[in-house]
Chain A
Amino acid sequence: MKNLSLMRLSIWAYLAIFFAYLLGPLVIMSVTAFNSPEFPRATPWECLTFEWFSALFHDERILNGIKNSVLVGFGTVILSVAMGLAGALMLTQIWPKLRATYYTIIIAPILVPGVVIGISTLVFWDRINRMLGLGADSFLSNGLFLTVIGQSTFIASYCMLVLVARLQRYDAALTEAALDLGATHAQAFRKVLLPFMKPAIASAAVLAFLASFENYNTTTFTFGEYPTLTIELAQKVRYGITPAISALAFIIVLLTVFAALFNEANIRRKELVFEARKGATVEELSSGRFKMPGFLSSNWAAVALVVVACATVVVVGTATVYSPQQCIANVQEQKRLETEIRIQELQRQRELRRQQQEAEQGSTAPAQSQPADNNSGFGGVFAPNTLSGEEESGAAEPAEESSGFGGAFAPSTLSGDGN
């Protein structure tokens, strides 16, 4: 009994650690998007602010990067889903003895480093461009074109893997049945195979878009005049980052959560409808009195979706009316005060030490070559006593400087006549 609860406890602890590891960075980053300091940090919490979002939406480079990423994303989705579907169909049609070899070849781009794909795409299309005698501004050397081509090289393989999984459950007799009933091959493909593949095509498209959106190492060679978001972010980081990037990350996280919840809610709803249809009698179905289950009933994902949506609306509403100026001013004032207090504290300590030194020097012989009382970190090498030791035996004058740095760091120097 005790063992069991211990077991259960450790499982929960493990889960907590696991999720903290997975989601912790995202949470911290999201928090920094709402904190006012110039450098993204979660602690100390200063002021709730939405200015980083506005900074984000006023950053031309980021916006342009997002636009390019979306363009490249759509291009990649279309190209790689089409190629992936073709590749998957080929895999099911090919002579069985060749299948393994074909599979290896078609999967190879996933194993090739993205950098290599990037360079080779660039070199290859540049060659073709030259062969055709086109200039540096031709379509073939266009950054969008090259990025879409380069990314699709390996993203198409991912798509193929997703599509093959679905295609393996396809009964080839269905196509034959369509042909037998008079359909052409194109009609059989469009009316029978494509509807069957639709869910897998949707997954492949989402996968392709995400893979394209986050791609950096291939794109970095091919983007030309069309830097994508990842490229822009990477360039920004070189000059230091601001919480505007956290704000962007927060938006992306939020959109992902939305999409995931929406998808989950839809799946759950379909299941519920299916259950209800199964339970319904023929009369109910044909008379139209069949009641669909409500969107929110026993659908936790839908409930969560609505809650998140409400929370977002509330946050955006707050953002439009809330002004952090006063808070920021308060924080600045507070910081100024803190700094002053620290300075005063330092000066007080200095003063204390000087008095101590004076007291010591008063009690012992003034021309001491002993650096023992020197509190410099350099073992007294720079101590004025050491330097002036032999010449001026009774020098009381440098005793004022307790540090080896000639008083440059003395509080009095900083605060002028502050004492």
Chain B
Amino acid sequence: MSAGVGVDLENLWIRFGDFVAVRDAKVHINGGDFFSFLGPSGCGKTTILRAVSGFLEPSEGQVLIGGKDMKGIGPNKRPTALIFQNLALFPLMKVWENITFSMEIKGASARERRKRADELLDMIALPDQGDKLPSELSGGQRQRVAIARALCAEPDVLLLDEPLSALDLKLRQHMRTELREIQKRVGITFIYITHDQGEALTMSDNIAVMRAGVIDQIGDGKTIYNDPSTAFAASFVGENNVFRGTVKQVQGDTALIATNRSGDLLARVSSANQGKMKAGDDAMMFIRPEAFALAPVGSEGDHFVTATVTNEEFEGNAFNIFMEGDGGKEMKVSLPNLGQSFDSHKGQSMTLQYDVQNAVALPAGDLATE
């Protein structure tokens, strides 16, 4: 397996008139990585993809593929293949003609093309479907044909623009695994665009979280989930409960935060912000729903939260408790279902505790609106 070709974005700016779609993006993507750009719609992630594939010239900065500057090189000359959001299969060509379009361009004979198409059809587990038209396939099958078509061009970098968003939930989950499998098999760099944090977390080696043209954080899934560097990243990736307040005191890597409603609480300062937070700053504290545990009634202290239960639901693998929150939203607590008995506390006050390592203190910032 080759190491693959890496992609670098160096101080990339993309402007449309006065509107800045991408602001000073600096990303290094390792060769052979499955790399995701994760962000809400309109955050500029597709713009970055178009700049990499060559449909857009950056206003400033460079796109390097395999260390080579791509400036002035058109999309048909770049070692990239793009899988479009709507797949863009050629509707009038049969499946095998679609797959081998890149060979037809180079003048390969029909026999060669047919042979290659059959190989790829086997790889995507669609044998004997080559003579159908794309319209005669199901959504998941079309998806795989689009992947085969892109792979047939033997690109160094495969770019995927939310290719799973049109599929239903079951198929989407299945395709996640399949995409990851294919990526491991072919060993080339995948750059994946998505607004679905579940997709990004399950498939990616590394993730870049984007907000309004700015890359907030780059890291692997665990880092992004456990150690977010901005309030946006913390609230966009996974569910999170926010506590607003001000920093009262910083000691080592922990901060004591005076929250608006829950009293003083301790939290770990995220690694990206260590040394940058000081007493008096506006701060936000994030605790995941699953990081809470029930505390003995009457407990008080800097890692206990007491609030009124507003709603309860049973989700099968967990009990979800909704409480009056601190950040304007309801606070959600997930207790794993381990067969324990669970009494309803609806309308009553409830005390919870958490491990300080699982609470993250961040400078106050915009939250994801979702």
Which residues of A approach B to under 8 Å, CB–CB?
Answer: 171, 173-174, 176-184, 187, 191-192, 195-196, 277-278, 282, 285-286
- Smallest CB gap from B77: residue in A: A182
**CB-nearest residue of chain B to A287:** B128
- How would residues 61 to 95 of chain B score, 1 for a CB under 8 Å from any chain A CB and 0 otherwise? 00000000000001111001110101011111000
**Docked-complex contact B88 and A177, CB < 8 angstroms:** yes
B132 at the interface (CB under 8 A from A): yes
Known: A179-B76, A183-B105, A191-B104. A171 touches B128 (CB 8 A): no
- Give the 6 A-B CB pairs with smallest separation, nearest first: A173-B88, A177-B88, A181-B102, A180-B82, A179-B75, A183-B105
Query: When the two chains form their complex, are residues A171 and B136 in contact, meaning their CB atoms are under 8 A apart?
Result: no
What is the CA–CA distance of A278 and B136 in the complex, to the nearest angstrom? 7
Is B149 part of the binding interface, using a Cβ–Cβ cutoff of 8 Å? Answer: yes
Q: Of all chain B residues, which has the CB nearest A278?
A: B136
- Name A's interface SS: helix
Chain B residue at minimum C-beta to C-beta distance from A172? B88
A277 partner residues in chain B, CB cutoff 8 A: 136
User: Whole-angstrom distance from the CB of B91 to the nearest CB of chain A?
Assistant: 7
B106 partner residues in chain A, CB cutoff 8 A:
182
With a cutoff of 8 Å between Cβ atoms, the chain A residues found around residue B128 in the complex are 282, 286
18 A-B residue pairs with CB within 8 Å:
A174-B91, A177-B82, A177-B88, A178-B90, A178-B101, A179-B74, A179-B75, A180-B54, A180-B55, A181-B76, A181-B105, A181-B153, A182-B105, A183-B101, A277-B136, A282-B128, A282-B129, A285-B132
What is the CB-to-nearest-CB distance from B11 to chain A, in angstroms, rounded to a whole number? 25
Is the pair B131, A285 in contact by a Cβ cutoff of 8 Å?
yes
**How many residues belonging to B are interface residues under a CB distance threshold of 8 Å?**
30
A285 to B95, CA, bound (A): 14
Q: A179-B55, A286-B131 are in contact. List 10 more A-B contacts (CB 8 A).
A: A173-B84, A176-B82, A177-B82, A179-B74, A181-B149, A181-B150, A182-B76, A183-B105, A278-B136, A282-B128
Q: Determine if B53 is an interface residue (Cβ-Cβ < 8 Å).
A: yes
Mask for B101-135, Cβ within 8 A of A = 1, else 0? 11011100000000000000000000011011000
On chain B, the residues within 8 Å of A286 by CB distance are 128, 131
Instruction: Knowing A181-B105, A182-B102, say if A176 contacts B90 (CB, 8 Å).
Output: no
Instruction: Specify the chain A residue showing the minimal Cβ separation from B106.
Output: A182
Of the candidates A181, A187, A192, A196, the one whose C-beta lies within 8 Å of that of B81 is A181
B101 x A181 contact (CB < 8 A): yes
List B contacts of A183 (CB < 8 A): 76, 101, 105
Taking CB atoms, residues of chain A closer than 8 Å to B77 are: 182
Bound complex: CA of A213 vs CA of B105, how far in Å? Answer: 40
Q: Which residues of A contact B53 (CB under 8 A)?
A: 180
B121 to chain A, nearest CB (A): 12
What residues on B are CB-neighbors of A174 within 8 Å? 88, 90-91
Given contacts A181-B101, A277-B136, contact A176 B75 (CB under 8 A): yes
Complexed CA–CA distance, A176 and B75 (Å): 8
| Bound complex: CA A334 to CA B258 (Å) | 123
B89 neighbours in A (Cβ, 8 Å): 177
Chain A residues with CB under 8 Å of B84's CB are 173, 176-177
Residues in A with CB closer than 8 Å to B54 are 180
Contacting A at CB under 8 A, from B281-306, are none
Cβ contacts under 8 Å, A177 to chain B: 82, 84, 88-90
Minimal Cβ-Cβ distance residue in A for B80: A180
For residue B144, give the distance in angstroms from its CB to the closest CB of chain A: 16
With A178-B101, A282-B129: A195-B92 Cβ-Cβ less than 8 Å? yes
Q: In the assembly, what is the distance between CA of A183 and CA of B78, in Å?
A: 11
Q: Chain A nearest CB: distance from B178 CB in Å? A: 21
A173-B84, A173-B88, A192-B90 known; A180 vs B129 contact (CB < 8 Å)? no
Q: Is there an interface contact between A176 and B55, defined as CB atoms closer than 8 Å?
A: yes
Distance to closest chain B CB from A286 (angstroms): 5
> Are A176 and B104 in contact (CB-based, < 8 A)?
no
Measured between beta carbons, the chain B residues less than 8 angstroms from A187 are 105
Q: In the bound complex, how far is the Cα of B76 from the Cα of A180, in angstroms?
A: 5
Residues of A within 8 A of B76 (CB): 179-184
Instruction: Enumerate chain B residues within 8 angstroms of A173, measured Cβ to Cβ.
Output: 84, 86, 88
Contacts of B75 in A (CB 8 A): 176, 179-180
Which residues of chain B are near A184, meaning CB under 8 Å?
Answer: 76, 105
